[in-house]
């Protein structure tokens, strides 16, 4: 598993804090203790962490669709283009901290040892100056930024996208950062100049400023319309995400910082108040659902409501996330005991809403090498005592989708395992009147693997040969007069599959029991884990196609290794900003794509149980016709 660190360019920006950290270390050594009461530099570092945490927590909350989907203001998703554009959203926080470091080292501000922890008079001065100075100053500066030349040069980038997130609040140009710095710090400067500054004022004012900025950009309504009805004066004192969203959408109104009071004079503020009450009306029933499960504790931090910089890239173990493993483990235990299926992400395709739901169970494996690198794997997803509960969760998700009016629900990974529920057959038989179509998507998975095989191949070696996918691949290839060496110790299971083939093609299915039988075959289709010793039997130049989970490790440098079956979604997909596990951007597992094709075609049958070999070409052609392409 690859290890990834923070992007180098962004890491270099944080290296600018080297002198600040060095100053803290020096004071620590001189005083023999952490200089909390004497070091502004230490407070700046703590503020940097707390400010970043504020934006991150609001971002996470805004993207927890299981909490917020009914209160989203704009129902569009944030796509990869927006994520890349806003990648350096923290530049504003970095710049402000560096400016503050210059000021405190220049002794513009008094030493922290000369300040009280709390001064109520300083807070009062700051509130007055915020209302009297910061709010009107930002209002007029913001209006100026919307004038022709200033807007195109300094503000249009901030308005690039209608759907905002908390991190969008930091996506501004240097000029905008400077304006925000001045309006945020003016109340602090006034309180300190009046001799009533305090440490609590610095922390409280700056963090409250960031909190309100993050809330406004969160795209999730947090203040109910009833609150404005009960307390009408609040409409002038606090803005809402709906209020800010209207500004981003229309660009000619709602210029205030936090207080609509400065937008109200000369016009009826009621339309703006109504805009602040629209949250909760943006709940759509999904047309298609992909039902997944969590892979393991580390990959659980790849969810889109954790860290955008991680979830927008293919999954890898980020070093910076490892310290958070205990927290993720705690969430795993919490989900095990008191969670239910929840919405993870969504995108739109041709006007239809596609959602990913997750069963709160982990399919991680405990593995170890024994006896010359032979791999033993234990699927914790299949603990005997857990099987019934997992199937009940999947069943409840299917029934919920059916009640909501979902058209197609596709089962992912272990949720459709034969040993668990017969590839979804259990649910279809138990509920014969289901309107939602349950799909395992493995027909397209088989099609992707088969279409990767060069047309001139005459012989293949197949492991996992009697599995659901192995059976379909073997039966399909033998019809093409391709000799299939099926690795299995079970003659009975082999014979059952061979009898399914037309009589004239049965000769192309050959049972083998050892890897040595494939030492002259350069096309291996792997449905079962291969150790380094077993891979050694492949001749040089072999290509390993695979449908084994997890994928085999490429030990042979003289061979090539394919990836898991996947397809790229059509180019007109909208709002997709999350990578599906290890898949690249815009690429989904073939079983996910199979469910999408099933929905787009409007097929009214369930795709569960054994793969219908006769439908492999039909499903493949349908996928290509709808704009899906091989990954």
pLDDT of 601-618, one tens digit each?
Answer: 999 999 999 999 999 999
Q: What is the pLDDT of residues 331-354, one digit of tens each?
A: 888 887 777 899 999 999 999 999
What pLDDT sits at residue 382?
Answer: 63
Per-domain residue ranges of the chain: 10-136+146-212, 288-439+589-610, 445-564
Per-residue pLDDT averaged across 437-444, rounded? Answer: 96
Q: Where are the alpha helices (DSSP H) in 381-536?
A: 384-404, 418-421, 425-430, 442-452, 468-479, 491-500, 532-535
CA distance linking residue 116 with residue 114, whole number of Å: 7
How many residues are there in the chain?
631
Neighbours of 483 (CB within 10 A): 16
Weakest mean pLDDT among 172-181, 224-233, 261-270, 586-595:
261-270
Residue 588 pLDDT level (bands cut at 50, 70, 90): very high
Bridge partners, residue 460, by sequence: 484
Q: Residue 272: in which H helix or E strand, if any?
A: helix 270-275
Region for residue 390 given its phi and psi (left: phi exceeds 0; alpha: psi -120 to 50; beta: otherwise): alpha
- How much of the chain is helix, strand and coil, in % rounded to 5? 50, 15, 35
Q: What are the backbone dihedrals phi and psi of residue 415, each rounded to the nearest 5 degrees, phi first?
A: -65, -15
Whether the pLDDT of residue 286 is over 80: the answer is: yes
Contact predicate 539/461, CB 8 Å? no
CA distance linking residue 551 with residue 473, whole number of Å: 18
Closest C-alpha among 29, 187, 217 to residue 122 = 187
What pLDDT sits at residue 265?
Answer: 61
Q: What are the backbone dihedrals phi and psi of residue 171, each rounded to the nearest 5 degrees, phi first?
A: -85, 85
Residue 368 pLDDT level (bands cut at 50, 70, 90): very low
Largest CA distance in the chain: 97
Q: What is the pLDDT of residues 496-549, one digit of tens each?
A: 999 999 999 999 999 999 999 999 999 999 998 898 999 999 999 999 999 887
The CA angle 129-42-16, to the nearest 5 degrees, is: 95
Per-residue pLDDT averaged across 275-291, rounded? Answer: 71
CA distance linking residue 619 with residue 617, whole number of Å: 5
Whether the pLDDT of residue 37 is over 70: the answer is: no
Tell me how far CA of residue 324 lies from CA of 49, 359, 579, 621, in angstroms.
15, 22, 21, 44
Share of the chain above pLDDT 90, in %: 61
Whether the pLDDT of residue 629 is over 60: the answer is: yes
Q: Residue 623: in which H helix or E strand, if any?
A: helix 616-625
Q: What is the pLDDT of residues 376-420, one digit of tens each?
A: 334 556 677 778 888 999 999 999 999 999 999 999 988 998 888
Whether the pLDDT of residue 11 is over 90: the answer is: no
Write the DSSP assignment of 509-544 as a string of letters.
EEEE-SGGGGTT--EEEESS---HHHHTTSPTT-EE
Collapsing DSSP to helix, strand or coil, 499 comes out as helix
Weakest mean pLDDT among 101-110, 365-374, 561-570:
365-374
Whether the pLDDT of residue 280 is over 60: the answer is: no
Whether the pLDDT of residue 130 is over 50: the answer is: yes
Whether the pLDDT of residue 480 is over 80: the answer is: yes
What pLDDT sits at residue 281?
Answer: 53
Q: Which fold has domain 445-564?
A: Rossmann fold (3.40.50)
Closest C-alpha among 535, 141, 152, 247 to residue 375 = 535
Contact predicate 83/313, CB 8 Å? no
Closest C-alpha among 557, 421, 516, 551 to residue 2 = 551
Whether the pLDDT of residue 8 is over 70: the answer is: no
- Average pLDDT across the chain, whole number: 87
What b/e sequence results for 227-263 when a residue is b if at least 16 CB atoms lie within 10 Å of its CB, and e otherwise?
ebeeeeebbbebbbbbbbbbbbeeeeebbbbbbbbbb
């Amino acid at each position: 598993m690859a290890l990834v660190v923070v992007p180098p360019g962004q890491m270099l920006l944080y290296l600018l804090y080297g002198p600040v950290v060095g100053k803290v270390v020096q004071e620590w050594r001189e005083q023999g203790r952490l200089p909390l009461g004497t070091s502004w530099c230490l407070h700046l570092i703590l503020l940097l962490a707390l400010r970043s945490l504020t934006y991150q927590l609001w971002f996470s909350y805004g993207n927890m669709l299981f909490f917020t989907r009914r209160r989203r203001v704009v129902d569009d998703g944030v796509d990869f283009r927006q994520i890349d554009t806003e990648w350096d959203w923290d530049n504003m926080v970095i710049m402000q901290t560096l400016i503050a470091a210059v000021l405190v080292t220049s002794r513009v501000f008094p030493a922290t040892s000369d300040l009280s922890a709390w001064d109520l008079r300083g807070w009062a001065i700051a509130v007055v100056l915020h209302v009297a100075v910061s709010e009107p100053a930002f209002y007029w500066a913001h209006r100026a930024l919307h004038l022709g030349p200033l807007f195109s040069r300094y503000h249009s980038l901030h308005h690039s996208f209608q759907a905002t997130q908390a991190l969008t609040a930091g996506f501004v140009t240097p000029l905008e950062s400077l304006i925000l710095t001045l309006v945020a710090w003016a109340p602090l400067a006034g309180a300190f100049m009046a001799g009533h500054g305090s440490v609590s004022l610095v922390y409280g004012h700056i963090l409250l400023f960031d909190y309100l900025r993050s809330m406004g950009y969160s795209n999730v309504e947090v203040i109910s319309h009833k609150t404005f009805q009960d307390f009408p004066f609040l409409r002038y004192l606090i803005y809402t995400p709906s209020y800010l969203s209207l500004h981003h959408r229309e660009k000619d109104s709602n210029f205030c910082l936090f207080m609509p009071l400065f937008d109200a004079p000369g016009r009826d503020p009621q339309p703006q108040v109504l805009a602040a009450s629209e949250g909760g009306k943006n709940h759509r029933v999904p047309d298609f659902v992909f039902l997944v499960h969590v892979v393991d504790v580390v990959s659980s931090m790849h969810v889109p409501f954790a860290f955008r910089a991680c979830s927008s890239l293919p999954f890898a173990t980020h070093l910076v996330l490892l310290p958070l493993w205990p927290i993720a483990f705690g969430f795993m235990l919490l989900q095990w005991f008191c969670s239910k299926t929840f919405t993870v992400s969504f995108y739109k395709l041709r006007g239809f809403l596609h959602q990913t739901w997750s069963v709160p169970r982990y399919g991680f494996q405990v593995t170890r090498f024994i006896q010359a690198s032979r791999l033993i794997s234990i699927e914790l997803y299949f603990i005997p005592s857990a099987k019934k509960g997992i199937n009940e969760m999947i069943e409840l998700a299917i029934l919920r989708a059916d009640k909501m009016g979902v058209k197609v629900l596709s089962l992912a990974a272990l949720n459709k395992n034969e040993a668990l529920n017969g590839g979804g057959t259990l649910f279809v038989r138990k509920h014969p009147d289901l309107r939602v179509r349950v799909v395992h998507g493995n027909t397209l998975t088989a099609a992707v693997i088969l279409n990767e095989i060069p047309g001139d191949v005459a012989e293949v070696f197949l492991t996992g040969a009697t599995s659901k996918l192995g059976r379909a691949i073997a039966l399909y290839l033998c019809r093409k007069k391709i000799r299939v060496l099926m690795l299995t110790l079970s003659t009975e299971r082999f014979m059952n599959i061979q009898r399914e083939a037309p009589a004239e093609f049965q000769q192309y299915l050959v049972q083998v029991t050892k890897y040595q039988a494939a030492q002259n075959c350069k096309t291996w289709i792997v449905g079962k884990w291969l150790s380094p010793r077993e891979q050694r039997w492949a001749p040089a130049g072999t290509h390993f196609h695979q449908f084994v989970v997890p994928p085999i490790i490429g030990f042979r440098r003289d061979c090539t290794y394919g990836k898991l079956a996947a397809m790229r979604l059509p180019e007109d997909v909208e709002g997709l900003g999350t990578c599906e596990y290890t898949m690249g951007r815009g690429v989904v597992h073939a079983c996910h794509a199979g469910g999408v094709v099933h929905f787009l075609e409007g097929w009214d049958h369930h795709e569960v149980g054994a793969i219908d070999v006769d439908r492999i070409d039909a499903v493949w052609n349908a996928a290509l016709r709808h704009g899906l392409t091989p990954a």
